[in-house]
A and B are shown apart, each in its own frame.
Chain A
Amino acid sequence: MIISKQVEFSASHICRSPLLSDAENERIYGAAANPMSHGHNYLVDVAIEGAPDPVTGMILDLKELKEILEDRVLRVYDHRLLNREVDSFETVVPTVENIAIDIWNRLAGEIPLPARLQSVKVHETRELFAEYRGEA
């Protein structure tokens, strides 16, 4: 069984790779390549897989999950310029794909057993999301 919790953060980013020319960056990322940055209200769905505990009826303690998300994700991401203020994005472009992978990496070892992280789905806008399930 899967339980999913949604959290929100607001952040700015610049989709621009130093390995590409200005023209290539603008062709690939369009307006998102603006070096002055732009921002989104991101929604993150964190799905946890497990069996409900026979006593509590819960897959995991949601208060504990909330604290983990606060400490490992929101504290790092909320109201930041991701390129400058989140170390994962020093050399990696903070596309919505890479944000989903980075949040997965921050959470995967933190979920109390026997529950496990199943999916991290990051909605950048209403029209665009990326989901990572830890697959190679």
Chain B
Amino acid sequence: MTVRIGRRYGFSATHRLFNPALGEAENRAIFGKCANPFGHGHNYEIELTVRSGVDPVTGMAVPLSKLDTLVEDAILADFRHRNLNEEVPAFREVVPTTENLAIEVLRRLHVAWPGTFPAAVILEKVRIWETERNICELSNES
């Protein structure tokens, strides 16, 4: 039987929403206070949804310890307590909005996934909470 498992992880980081291709006033108009030069932080949460059959012996769809290790190594270790703009190479040129963060998280998972899980364990989507009110969802299948 196919089920979907959701697993949520937290990390705290700094970002600044500012595109050097745009002027100071334009950045301020688009990003508002998120363009403040010194950056600011959030407690981010990442939720992965994984689709798989249930192992008849263990009753589990995904070994959570494997998933936790993969997320820790591929994502959290690089993002936790970092300045995303300054310390994560993907955001040197790309504004670390929640949208671009979701794209980067999915890209990293694409790289790490095949070495960890068989093809029948499918990453279905990534959701990222920047705050309780700002959520970005990225489907892996569209």
Residue of A nearest to B6 (CB): A129
Could you name 24 residue pairs across A and B whose Cβ atoms are closer than 8 Å?
A15-B59, A17-B57, A28-B60, A30-B65, A92-B59, A95-B58, A97-B5, A97-B60, A98-B54, A100-B3, A101-B1, A126-B8, A127-B8, A128-B6, A128-B8, A128-B64, A129-B5, A130-B3, A130-B61, A131-B4, A132-B1, A133-B2, A136-B1, A136-B2
Partner of A28, one of B5, B6, B8, B63: B63
Write out the residue numbers on chain B whose beta carbons fall within 8 Å of the beta carbon of A121.
6
List residues of chain B with CB within 8 A of the CB of A135: 1-2
**C-alpha spacing A92/B64, complex, angstroms:** 19
A20 touches B57 (CB 8 A): yes
9 additional A-B pairs beyond A17-B58, A101-B54, A127-B7, beta carbons within 8 Å, are A28-B63, A95-B60, A97-B59, A98-B59, A121-B6, A128-B8, A130-B61, A135-B1, A136-B1
In the bound complex, CA of A91 to CA of B49 (Å): 27
Tell me the count of chain A residues lying within 8 A, CB to CB, of chain B: 27
- Tell me if B2 and A128 are in contact (CB < 8 A): no
Whether a CB of chain B sits under 8 angstroms from the CB of A68 is no
A59-B65 Cα distance, complex, nearest whole Å = 40
